[in-house]
Structure 1
């Protein structure tokens, strides 16, 4: 039991250290040796817990999305309507990495390294399953997985295009487009889409965030 606890503590330390390094100097610039050194570990000990820098980045990405979801659930007065809550989640996440350079750079570098899509597919697939269940849709898991692929592919390409200057659309336009695609995949008609997005805009506009690394986030909601 003690050795298991120690292993968890070591993993947490590696993730926290890497999150700060990626935040301050970027994913590409940071090496696996940097992470080991700043964690106070040998390279072989770090490799015992993680096979690669990409694996570490994947955990950070998932942890950030989990923390964001937890924060949103705690602060916004939307508990029962999962579709509206997830629409706010998408809007808030995209807004953060469009307005916060360290986060934008991190996700952009993961997108260019073909890492981001793989990371997001599983979590988005699960979200689509939960959303379909909430809406009582008769959709099989493979169809919902296809929806996840479509949504993630669009999102990743938007990240790359925005950072590369290939599109000049304002962030608000991109947020509306991502929300619309997500809701359209679920089969909601245009009237319901517009209503949910309009509500999500109001809630999202009242949220402020604080970040000191790439896995931690603190949200404040203003009534």
Structure 2
């Protein structure tokens, strides 16, 4: 089955060299991947036809779900602070009601459980000799970022709700990026170096588009 996917360089115009632990250089390979025909496959899946092959499932659960892994954290908190200041920081409750909330409640609603389903789906996927390393590295990557969303995000959100000075909040965000951003990049690149050749080998079709 032909599945078309597109990889977009959404944050970089060229490969970014960054320092990660012990002065070791790695190349940033972050891409944005998505189904061009996602709705089509969603409908087919619900009818029990057009089921994805094993390689397609691996690519989807590793590469597509990897889209949610952030390229830095500053943008998230800048948006939260801007919306909070404007009085437009809201969530949709279980009763489908729009409710104004603080930063902690917003983070708990939008980020804390973001990777729960992705981690569960990876654990449920059959591990084969060819994919064992891919799935192990992907699970490690998702779990690492998941802990940032569950621990570090609420901590900084609490600083926002407590009215800490922007300079203090910015310093906490910068520290998070400095301490853990490079580790995320390294884990992401390790997965990228395996999942793309695997997709090519098994005919999972995608398009690569370098954004200006």
Q: Same fold (TM over 0.5)?
A: no
TM-score (norm 1): 0.33
Structure with a larger share of its residues in helix: 1
Q: Of Structure 1 and Structure 2, which has the larger fraction of its residues in strand?
A: 2
Question: Relative contact order (C-alpha < 8 Å, sep 6+): which is higher?
Answer: 2
